[in-house]
Amino acid sequence: MPEQYNHLDLPLYPQSYGRQPRRRGSSYYPRSRVDKIEYLSIQTEQLDDLQNSFETDKIKYHNFIDPNLIFKLEVT
């Protein structure tokens, strides 16, 4: 079968081209201090809002339902 097809001659390269080395490690970049402080303040604010809404529901429905037994998860 090789006799049927004429193949091109490949040029010889003086240096060898080995495999590229694998990159090790992760692409994790630590957050700056400002980002951490901002993230913490947002999370604290959201937690305070959640606690306040729970307290208002507890006061509002204290005669009908025990709100300690009910919780709601909101996936964002």
Question: Tell me: the pLDDT tens digits for 8-31?
Answer: 777 777 777 777 778 777 777 788
Distance of CA 1 to CAs 4, 5, 40, Å? 5, 7, 71
Q: What does the domain layout of the chain look like in residue ranges?
A: 33-69
Confidence at residue 67, expressed as pLDDT on a 0 to 100 scale: 64
User: Taking the model in full, what pTM does it have?
Assistant: 0.45
